[in-house]
C-alpha cells in the first residue's frame, strides 16, 4: 500500500513537472490564480508581457498584475476572475485589448479566462491565457490600408471612395445636409506617358495628388478613381462652395508645370460637379452624373468645370448621342453609309495628271435624307463606334477607288480610337493584300491631337505603312498642343493647316504669320502643305503668296459623291480665274 502511494506520488510529480515545462515552453502568456483571484503562477512569456516575475506576483490580485484596458475606450477591464467563476465558463475577447506592463509598456493582446476544476467539479481557481497580437494587428492594418488606398499616390481608392459617398448620401437623406462631388480627369496626361514613359506618368500623378491635397479641408476626401481620374468629396458644401473650389483647382493647374528630364509640360484638368442632396438616388447615379459633367467640360474646351443639372442641354445632347449609337448600328447593318470626295488641288495653278481627293463619310437616313458626319461622329467617338466606321471606309476605299479611279490619290481619315488600336495595322495590311490597290494612291490623315495623344503608336503605324508606299498627312495642324519637335517623330508627307487659321488669314496678321511659319518649317522638313477651309478669293491669293502647296475648300470644290465625274481642270480653271 505504501509502495503504491509512493508510486502515485512520483507519477503526480512527473505530471506536474511536464505541465510546468509545457507552460514555460508555449508561446502564449499564462497566469494561474486561486478562486479569490490571487496569482499563483506566471510562465516566462507572461512574465515578459506583464513585467512581473512569478515570485513578485505570487499572492497579489490579478487586477494588480494583469492590467487590461479596452483598446478603444481605454477603460480598465476588471472582474475577469469573478465573472469567470460566477458564470462557470470561459471568458474570452474577440477583439484586441491593451495590456499595460509593470513598467507602463502597452501591448495589444487577446485573452481568455477559464475555470480550473477539481475532480469533483469544484472551481479551485482560474487560468488566464493571453497572446501578443501586435504583429497580427499591424499586418491586418496594412492589408486594410492596401485594400482601401491607392498604392501609388497614397490616397483612398475607388472602393473606399464609394463607401464615403454612401455615407454622404445617407447624411443628406437623414439630416438634410448638402455635399458636393467633383470628378477630375487630367487633360493631356497620355502625352506625358507616351513621350517620357510610365515612370514620368507616375511621378506626375504623385505631384498632382500632393497639389490637390494641399487645397482640401480636413473633412474633405480625395481619391484616385483609376488612371488619371480623381474624385473629391467636399463635405457640407453647397454648389457655390464647390464652384469656388473648382476655380481654385483650375488656377492651380494653370500655374502647375511638370518637368521630366528637361522636358516641360503644362497640363490642365476637366472637372464635373454634382450636388449631393436628399434626392440623390445612389452611388451609381451620382458617379454617372459626375462623369457626364466631366465629359461635357472636356467637349467645351478642357481645363474647365461643368455643373450637372437635370435639364442640362449639353447632357441632353449626350443622351441624344446614346440614341445615335443604335441608329448607327442599324445604318451599318443596312448598308446606308456612303462616301463623298472633296478635291485637294495645287495652288500654283500648274496642271497635273494625278487628282487628289479627301474622302468624307455620309449617312443616308431612313427618310432618304443625307446626314453630315458632324451629327453622328461625336456619338461614334464617345461610344467607340469609330473603329467600325474607319474600317468600313478603308475597305470601301480600297475596293472602289481602285476599280473606278486607279490613278487618283485619296485621303482617308483615321480616328484617334483606331489609331490607338492594336489591330489597325494588321487590318490595313490584310485589305492591301485582298485588293489590288496601289499604296501610293492612299494617304491616311491623322489629326494632330490624335497623333500626339497616341504618339508612339502613330509613329509606329506611319513608319510601317510608309515602307509599302502609303502617304500620311497630319490634319488640323496648329489646333492642339502643336510643337514642331513632334514632327521629327512623325514622318508625314503633308501638313494640313487647321481651317480656323485659314478662315482668319486675311483679317488677322498673327494667323498670317502662323501659317507662314508652318509652311516654312514643313518645307524644311520635306513636307507639302495643305490649307483647308479655303472659302474666298482673298484667302486663296494670300495662301498662294505664302507658298502653300495645296488648297481645299468650298471655293475650290464642294464635296460630291465618290462617282461624280469631277475633273481636275474644273478647279484649275477656277484657280486661274482667281489670280488677280
393-452: pLDDT as tens digits:
999 999 887 676 567 899 999 998 899 888 999 999 999 999 888 999 999 999 887 888
Cα 109 to Cα 137: distance, rounded to the nearest angstrom: 10
| Whether the predicted pLDDT of 190 surpasses 60 | yes
The three grid cell numbers given for residue 542, joined into one nine-digit string: 494670300
Pairing of strands 356-364, 337-343: antiparallel
13-68: pLDDT as tens digits:
555 545 555 555 577 999 999 999 999 999 999 999 999 998 999 999 999 999 99
Q: What is the pTM of this model?
A: 0.50
Domains of the chain: 18-138 (3.30.450.20), 152-310 (3.30.70.270), 336-577 (3.20.20.450)
The three grid cell numbers given for residue 325, joined into one nine-digit string: 449609337
The three grid cell numbers given for residue 16, joined into one nine-digit string: 506536474
- In which band, very low, low, confident or very high, does the pLDDT at 92 lie, cut at 50, 70 and 90? confident
What are the Cα distances from residue 114, in Å, to 28, 33, 94, 139, 577?
15, 10, 15, 29, 109
- In which band, very low, low, confident or very high, does the pLDDT at 312 lie, cut at 50, 70 and 90? low
Which residues 6+ apart lie within 8 Å of 152 measured at CB? Answer: 202, 205, 206, 224
Q: Out of 148-157, 350-359, 532-541, which region has the weakest mean confidence (pLDDT)?
A: 350-359
Cα 14 to Cα 171: distance, rounded to the nearest angstrom: 66
| Higher-scoring residue by pLDDT: 298, 186 | 186
Cα 334 to Cα 155: distance, rounded to the nearest angstrom: 50
Amino acid at each position: 500500500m505504501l509502495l503504491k502511494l509512493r508510486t502515485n506520488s512520483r507519477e503526480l510529480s512527473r505530471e506536474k513537472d511536464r505541465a510546468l515545462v509545457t507552460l514555460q515552453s508555449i508561446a502564449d502568456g499564462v497566469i494561474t490564480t486561486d478562486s479569490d483571484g490571487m496569482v499563483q503562477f506566471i510562465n516566462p512569456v507572461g512574465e515578459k508581457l506583464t513585467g512581473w516575475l512569478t515570485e513578485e506576483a505570487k499572492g497579489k490580485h490579478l487586477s494588480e498584475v494583469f492590467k487590461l484596458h479596452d483598446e478603444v475606450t481605454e477603460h480598465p477591464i476588471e472582474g475577469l476572475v469573478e465573472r469567470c467563476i460566477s458564470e462557470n465558463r470561459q471568458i474570452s475577447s474577440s477583439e484586441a485589448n491593451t495590456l499595460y506592463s509593470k513598467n507602463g509598456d502597452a501591448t495589444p493582446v487577446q485573452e481568455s479566462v477559464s475555470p480550473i476544476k477539481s475532480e469533483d467539479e469544484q472551481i479551485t481557481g482560474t487560468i488566464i491565457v493571453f497572446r501578443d497580437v501586435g504583429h497580427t494587428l499591424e499586418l491586418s492594418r496594412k492589408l486594410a490600408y492596401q485594400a482601401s488606398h491607392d498604392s501609388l499616390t497614397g490616397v483612398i481608392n475607388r472602393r473606399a471612395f464609394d463607401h464615403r459617398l454612401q455615407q454622404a448620401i445617407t447624411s443628406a437623406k437623414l439630416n438634410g445636409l448638402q455635399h458636393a462631388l467633383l470628378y477630375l480627369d487630367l487633360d493631356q496626361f497620355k502625352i506625358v506617358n507616351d513621350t517620357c514613359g510610365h515612370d514620368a506618368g507616375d511621378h506626375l500623378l504623385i505631384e498632382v495628388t500632393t497639389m490637390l491635397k494641399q487645397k482640401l479641408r480636413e473633412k474633405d476626401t480625395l481619391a484616385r478613381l483609376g488612371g488619371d481620374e480623381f474624385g473629391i468629396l467636399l463635405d457640407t458644401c453647397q454648389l457655390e462652395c464647390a464652384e469656388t473650389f473648382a476655380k481654385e483647382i483650375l488656377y492651380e493647374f494653370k500655374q502647375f508645370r511638370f518637368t521630366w528630364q528637361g522636358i516641360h509640360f503644362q497640363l490642365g484638368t476637366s472637372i464635373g460637379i454634382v450636388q449631393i442632396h436628399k434626392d440623390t438616388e445612389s452611388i451609381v447615379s451620382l458617379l454617372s452624373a459626375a462623369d457626364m459633367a466631366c465629359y461635357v467640360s472636356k467637349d467645351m474646351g478642357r481645363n474647365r468645370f461643368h455643373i450637372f443639372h437635370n435639364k442640362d442641354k449639353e447632357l441632353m445632347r449626350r443622351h441624344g448621342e446614346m440614341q445615335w449609337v443604335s441608329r448607327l448600328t442599324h445604318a451599318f447593318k443596312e448598308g446606308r453609309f456612303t462616301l463623298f470626295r472633296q478635291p485637294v488641288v495645287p495652288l500654283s495653278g500648274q496642271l497635273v495628271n494625278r487628282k487628289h481627293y479627301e474622302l468624307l463619310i455620309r449617312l443616308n437616313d431612313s427618310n432618304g435624307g443625307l446626314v453630315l458626319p458632324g451629327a453622328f461622329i461625336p456619338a461614334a467617338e464617345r461610344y467607340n463606334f469609330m473603329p467600325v466606321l474607319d474600317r468600313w471606309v478603308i475597305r470601301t476605299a480600297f475596293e472602289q477607288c481602285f476599280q473606278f479611279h486607279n490613278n487618283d490619290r485619296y485621303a482617308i481619315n483615321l480616328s484617334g480610337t483606331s489609331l490607338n488600336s492594336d489591330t489597325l495595322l494588321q487590318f490595313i495590311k490584310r485589305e492591301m493584300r485582298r485588293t489590288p490597290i496601289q499604296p501610293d494612291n492612299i494617304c491616311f490623315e491623322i489629326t494632330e491631337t490624335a497623333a500626339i495623344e497616341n504618339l508612339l503608336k502613330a509613329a509606329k503605324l506611319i513608319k510601317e505603312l510608309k515602307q509599302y508606299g502609303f502617304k500620311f498627312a497630319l490634319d488640323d495642324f496648329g489646333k492642339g498642343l502643336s510643337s514642331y519637335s513632334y514632327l521629327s517623330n512623325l514622318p508625314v508627307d503633308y501638313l494640313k493647316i487647321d481651317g480656323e487659321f485659314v478662315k482668319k488669314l486675311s483679317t488677322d496678321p498673327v494667323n498670317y504669320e502662323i501659317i507662314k511659319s508652318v509652311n516654312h518649317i514643313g518645307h524644311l522638313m520635306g513636307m507639302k502643305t495643305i490649307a483647308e477651309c479655303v472659302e474666298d478669293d482673298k484667302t486663296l491669293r494670300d495662301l498662294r503668296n505664302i507658298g502653300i502647296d495645296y488648297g481645299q475648300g468650298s471655293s475650290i470644290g464642294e464635296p460630291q459623291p465618290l462617282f461624280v465625274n469631277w475633273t481636275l481642270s474644273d478647279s484649275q480653271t477656277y484657280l486661274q480665274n482667281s489670280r488677280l
